[in-house]
Amino acid sequence: MSIAKLKFNRLELLSLNCRKFVVPRKVRKTLFTHRLWKPSKERGWFNKITRCLLNEAKSECESDQYSNKCLKIAEININGLGKKYTFVKDIITDHEIDIMAVCESRHSSSEDVVLRRMVPEGYCCLDVARKVNDDKVIKGIAPVGGGVAVVVRESMKPTMIELVHDLKTFEYICISRFPKKFKRVLLLNIYRPGSQQVTNCFYTEIQLIFEGLEMQHGHIIITGDLNIHFEDETNSHDMRLLTLMDAFGYKQHVMSSTHVLGGTLDVIITKENEIIKTVDVLPPTLSDHGLVLAEFVIAVDRSIPVLTKLIRSFKKFDKQIFQKELLDSDLCCFCSGRSTETAILKVRMTEYRNITLRVEIIKS
């Protein structure tokens, strides 16, 4: 004959310690006499510990249920959006991307048709168009390169933030978004042209960007194409940038090649304490750069919400003024032919409204 086994978890066992039933006095006396049950004064400390353990177990269950939110981010150097907008749109929908960062889109304004067609339904696009050189426009030479854009879900209500003015060595776009019930996410998308040499001005400007990010709160994510070979440990530019990132507590998560000719040029950079679930690089198909996919674990916003309450300030309540208003109201001065219900209704609509004007707004 097999014996049935019962399994209880920690929360279920703690929930058995309740006071839903009352033990008769005679039974309690018997238990006390044989020292099988301690009086309430002697077991009070045990009840406090049990309640603390029960609340801790509940909080752990709630944390496991709500804190494992994954944010899907994609980044690509598209090398000119052109007719590739349909492929970018399919990438966003197929992979269920939350934020899509695009570099070197080569769009000249936010009204470009290709930029609008790239955005799927339920998303919005924030962009910074490439800078047009006036001398090239006069000579009839079309500008090349540049332009950054970010496609975000509309439900996240993204806004643009300007960290530093008039940068000369790279372009960037910084957006802030607030996922529901989760902490703020700040995404910075950078593009540095590979045709330009890395100078001291670049490190000065990227340091200003890092300093500007230190003034922000929430999860900070940096994406883009810096055109610096992070895989080359002998590269002086790579070592200098990594030293600067380490000083601000940042870490590069892309470890494989992102360019068709080899080299880790695209980046996914976050703070060292951020939880990165996966980082994948797909082979280059749309351009000479591969598609970078990453999943981040973002934390629950456990900050106490600010609430407003309307309360009657009885300390400032003037009894004499209230008595005078009540005597002058229709409730005490009945007119001929007017019913008591009509008078009471009028008092509720007028005098009671005057009383509730003495209301204070507090924050809790």
pLDDT single digits (tens) 34-77: 766 666 655 555 555 556 655 665 555 444 444 457 889 999 99
Of the residues 258, 273, 298, the one at which a domain ends: 298
d(CA 297, CA 70): 5
Query: Is the confidence at residue 216, as pLDDT, over 80?
Result: yes
Q: Please tell me which residue, 288 or 48, carries the higher pLDDT value.
A: 288
Is there a domain that residue 239 lies in? yes
Do residues 191 and 321 share a domain? no
Do residues 92 and 195 share a domain? yes
CA distances from 235 to 195, 238, 242 (A): 17, 5, 11
d(CA 20, CA 54): 16
CB 227 within 8 A of CB 258: no
d(CA 25, CA 28): 5
Pairing of strands 219-225, 69-77: unpaired
Backbone angles phi and psi of 105, in degrees to 5: -75, -25
Do residues 42 and 142 share a domain? no
Is there a domain that residue 1 lies in? no
In the structure encoding, which two tokens stand for residue 160, read together?
């643009």
Q: What is the pLDDT of residue 152?
A: 93
Do residues 90 and 223 share a domain? yes
The DSSP bridge partners found for residue 173 are 189
pLDDT tens, residue by residue, 90-141: 999 999 999 999 999 988 888 888 888 999 999 999 999 887 655 544 444 5
Q: Is 78 helix (H, G, I), strand (E, B) or coil?
A: coil
Do residues 42 and 109 share a domain? no
In the structure encoding, which two tokens stand for residue 128, read together?
């910074």
Of the residues 19, 38, 65, the one at which a domain ends: 65
| Total of domains in the chain | 3
Pairing of strands 69-77, 99-103: parallel
Do residues 218 and 116 share a domain? yes
Do residues 125 and 218 share a domain? yes
pLDDT tens, residue by residue, 150-180: 999 998 889 998 888 888 899 999 998 766 6
CATH number at residue 100: 3.60.10.10
Do residues 28 and 157 share a domain? no
Full domain range(s) for residue 280: 67-298
Of the residues 298, 331, 346, the one at which a domain ends: 298
| pTM of this prediction exceeds 0.85 | no
Beta strands in the chain (DSSP E): 69-77, 99-103, 123-128, 148-153, 159-161, 171-177, 185-191, 219-225, 250-252, 266-271, 275-282, 291-298, 308-312, 359-363
Do residues 43 and 73 share a domain? no
Q: Which residue has the tokens 């001005």?
A: 201
Is there a domain that residue 160 lies in? yes
Among residues 168, 155, 163, the alpha carbon closest in space to that of 202 is found at: 168
